Amino acid sequence: MFENPLHLLMNPKSIAVVGANNIPTKMGTIQALSILKDGYQGKVFPIHPKEKNVLGLKTYTSPEDLPEVPDLAVLIVPIKSVIPLIESFGKIGTKRAIIITGGFRETGEAGQKMENELNETANLYGLRFVGPNCLGIFNSQISLNTTVFTISREPGFMGFASQSGTYVTQAVPALKKRGFRFSKALSLGNEANINMVDALEYLGEDEQTKAIILYIEGIRDGKRFVEVARKITPRKPVIAQYVGGSASGARAGKSHTGAMAGPDFLYNGIFKQAGIIRVDSVEDLYANGWTMATQPPLKGNRVGIMTNSGGPSTTISYVCDSLGLTVPRFSDDLQKEIRKHIEPHASAANPVDLTFDVSIKKLAITLPEIIAKSGEVDAIVIHGVMMTGYMREIYPHMKEMAGNISLEEFLKFAKPVVNEVFELPRKYNMPFLISSFFDEEDCYTKGYMDNNVPVFRFPEKAAIALGCLYRYKQIRERMPHQEVVLPEINKSAMEIIRHAQKNNHKALNEYEAKKLLACYGVPITKEELAATIEETVAAAAKIGYPVALKACSWKIMHKSGKGLIALNVENETQLKKEFENIQKNAGKAVLVLVQEMLKGSREFLAGMTRFAGFGPCVIFGLGGVFTEVFKDTSLRLAPVADTDVQEMFAEIKANKLLDEFRGMPKVKTDKLSQIIQAVGNIALLHPEIAEIDLNPIIINGTEPVVADALIVLESK
């Protein structure tokens, strides 16, 4: 049975550190001190060619001199020493390493060659490693820290895998001030050996980790990433920030499909398919991840809001509404009970706005308990619980009136903290999120954070985190993923492709493309290929007027706007005229496709394009002439299951067109689903195909029919 390589790497019983010395400014020394000072209880063996003792520990000149084989080697050494050291550790039987040293793939071709050699050496001995060019890992469960920053001694619940070392290290002080604590965290560096998918899988298996956050700049093994995430997300939330999808990274395709499926759109699709929640900022990554790791699951979408000010209540309500949450008006009975505790001018309807009433007990415990017990909400957001933070702010104005006492003496006037407020989430098994403009210097902010209740610096951030909980509720309730069984390869389809390849065609012409689609059950228009005007007239008579005429050549991948299409041709006279126009506009003799004119005003598209590391991705969306104007599409990795297609239908903004709409009947979405799934299956069965573009798929009455098709072949 396969075991994730990170289980041993994250839980070593002994560590050899190469690169530490007695100079405090050296990275190797700093990272060795992190291992020694943050509570790790295993054995530590410094390796140094000259020093007899490093940081109070006996040193060894080489791996071969160690008294036992260490589980883990940590290398913070010059780049020229890395490969020989990995070979030495491999020879003595060490199976895991963390390579901090940079200068490999990130520096260019020569660095890539050296990284390849590093991997080959490690593979020779079955040694797996994190890095190179990383900042290490930490495991709060065993107080293991190989990074340069001090970690909290108290174990956390949020697992983190990052392609940026900064977000695992430099961010730690800020996270401590917010009360966020990692269970496990990994800086993955170049991912030459152990990669993001390995880290995701490991965190998914880790019982301490209740929620997973990912910082992603790019995924190499997209197919496995989706497979692994799909197994995790039904039972454990995964949140990701992806930052590699700018316009500069977009891939331009020959088809409309390829042109619209740039990396950002690609990651949106695969995250949704895998059940991963995407966020736009690293702040939301940490904050929403901590919320998911610490709060009970959301059971519904009803939110109760309590504040001591109108502005925050309005802000929270507005954001909740935009995220699919509701802020319901409380029942008359509940409002009546609330009114017993608030001023006459205050609102009891939801949000409950105390307005100028600074009673902590009312805001933090009395009213929240009444509302939590009512059964009318599924979550509570509170803004304005404060005491010592508020007193610190008013002290300069109050100092003289208070007899010029010190701040410390002034703070003693604060009422005792009501500790019961921090137990409410557990008591009622309901998410409680706190908004406060005060940091940990306020006794209530600190109390909430110490009890793993998330505190947000701005009201809308609390609402956004609650929206994240609601999104995960929807993910948990999705239909389970269904494995897709591919059909057999159709021999006729294979022959069509081979014929085109034999003639060095870079694409199939429309007639060939549709013949191939028909081999896999895709409904296409009635059509015939004609070379002469006589054949065109005969084909139109057979199909029946009105017809469409199109130039048909693999070299003409896009015909719109070039005078190469004639629609709604009503009779033979018009047919002959349009035939001549197409030949003239083409500039040479071309075959003409004579096609039935479909009746239907709703047009969709389906397509496929390939991405390195992911393979074929299927796109569905609004089609026709406005395809590239609205770009109303959804994407999934092939193969596409029934549940995937249903989500794609729901995601496009024009989804109402699939139902009864302005006198038009409901679309037979089961047949439209079959077309979308066939696109993915064809791509998997025929790797010779680079792109597929079915646009438009016209809804003829209730039936979807492919009216135009482009299939681009992979370049040899």
Q: What is the DSSP string of 170-233?
A: TTHHHHHHHT--EEEEEE-TT-SSS-HHHHHHHHHH-SS-SEEEEEES--S-HHHHHHHHHHHT
Q: Is the pLDDT of residue 258 over 50?
A: no
Q: State mean pLDDT over 191-217.
A: 97
User: What is the tens place of the pLDDT at every residue in 68-122?
Assistant: 999 999 999 999 999 999 999 999 999 999 999 999 999 999 999 999 999 999 9
pLDDT, position 369:
96
Q: State mean pLDDT over 668-675.
A: 98
Secondary structure E strands in 431-493: 432-435, 455-456
Query: Residue for token digits 């696109």?
Result: 679
Residue 309 confidence class, pLDDT cut points 50, 70, 90: confident
CA distance 417 to 699: 65
DSSP type of residue 580: H
* Count of other CB atoms within 10 angstroms of residue 7: 12
Residues 6+ apart with CB under 8 A from 689: 497, 608, 682, 683, 711, 712, 713, 714
Residues 6+ apart with CB under 8 A from 657: 602, 604, 622, 667
Which CB contacts under 8 angstroms, 24+ apart, belong to 195-199? 195/220, 195/221, 196/161, 196/163, 196/225, 197/221, 197/224, 197/225, 197/228, 198/4, 198/5, 198/6, 199/6, 199/161
Q: Decide: helix, strand or coil at residue 458.
A: coil
Q: Is the pLDDT of residue 250 over 70?
A: no
pLDDT, position 246:
58
Q: Is the pLDDT of residue 25 over 50?
A: yes
CA distance 82 to 88: 10
CA distance 97 to 100: 10
User: What is the tens place of the pLDDT at every residue in 617-640?
Assistant: 999 999 987 787 788 999 999 999
pLDDT, position 612:
87
Query: Residue for token digits 């820290």?
Result: 145
Q: Go through the domains of the chain in sequence order and give each one's CATH number.
A: 296-476 (3.40.50.261)
pLDDT, position 557:
82
Secondary structure E strands in 520-614: 527-530, 547-552, 565-569, 591-596, 603-611
DSSP type of residue 570: -
User: Phi/psi class of residue 7: alpha, beta or left (left: φ > 0; alpha: ψ in -120 to 50)?
Assistant: alpha
Instruction: Write down the mean pLDDT value for the chain.
Output: 94
Across the chain, how many H-helices and E-strands are there?
A: 26, 30
Residue 255 confidence class, pLDDT cut points 50, 70, 90: low
Q: Is the pLDDT of residue 254 over 80?
A: no
Angle between helices 459-476 and 310-322 (to 10 degrees): 30
Strands of the sheet containing 527-530, edge to edge, are 527-530, 591-596, 547-552, 565-569
- Nearest CA to 93 out of 114, 118, 124, 117 is that of 124
Beta bridge partners of 99: 75
Beta bridge partners of 44: 15
Q: Decide: helix, strand or coil at residue 245.
A: coil
Q: State mean pLDDT over 692-696.
A: 96
User: What is the tens place of the pLDDT at every residue in 416-455?
Assistant: 999 999 999 999 999 999 999 999 999 999 999 999 999 9
β-strand pairing of 144-145 with 158-162: unpaired
pLDDT, position 151:
83
Rounded to a whole number, what is the largest CA-CA distance in the chain? 108
Q: State mean pLDDT over 367-381.
A: 97
Strands of the sheet containing 238-242, edge to edge, are 144-145, 137-139, 182-187, 158-162, 211-216, 238-242, 277-279
CA distance 216 to 267: 10
* Count of other CB atoms within 10 angstroms of residue 57: 15
DSSP type of residue 451: T
Q: How many CA atoms lie within 13 A of 368 on its CB side?
A: 28
Are the CB atoms for 63 and 41 separated by under 8 Å? no
pLDDT, position 251:
43
User: What amino acid occupies position 495?
Assistant: E
First to last CA, the chain: 39
Residues 6+ apart with CB under 8 A from 207: none
Q: State mean pLDDT over 198-222.
A: 96
Q: Quote the distance between the C-alpha of residue 547 and its chain's center.
A: 46
Are the CB atoms for 406 and 457 separated by under 8 Å? no
- Cis previous bond, 546, omega within 30: yes
Beta bridge partners of 627: none
Q: Quote the distance between the C-alpha of residue 359 and its chain's center.
A: 42
Are the CB atoms for 514 and 527 separated by under 8 Å? yes
pLDDT, position 473:
98
CA distance 162 to 134: 10
CA distance 536 to 682: 31
Q: State mean pLDDT over 305-330.
A: 95
Q: How many CA atoms lie within 13 A of 449 on its CB side?
A: 23
- Nearest CA to 527 out of 507, 511, 551, 512 is that of 511
DSSP type of residue 347: B
CA distance 382 to 455: 10
pLDDT, position 244:
77
- Nearest CA to 455 out of 212, 213, 180 is that of 180
CA distance 257 to 611: 12
CA distance 598 to 218: 43
Query: Is this model's pTM higher than 0.85 or not?
Result: yes
Instruction: Kindly state the tokens that stand for 609.
Output: 């394009």
pLDDT, position 120:
97
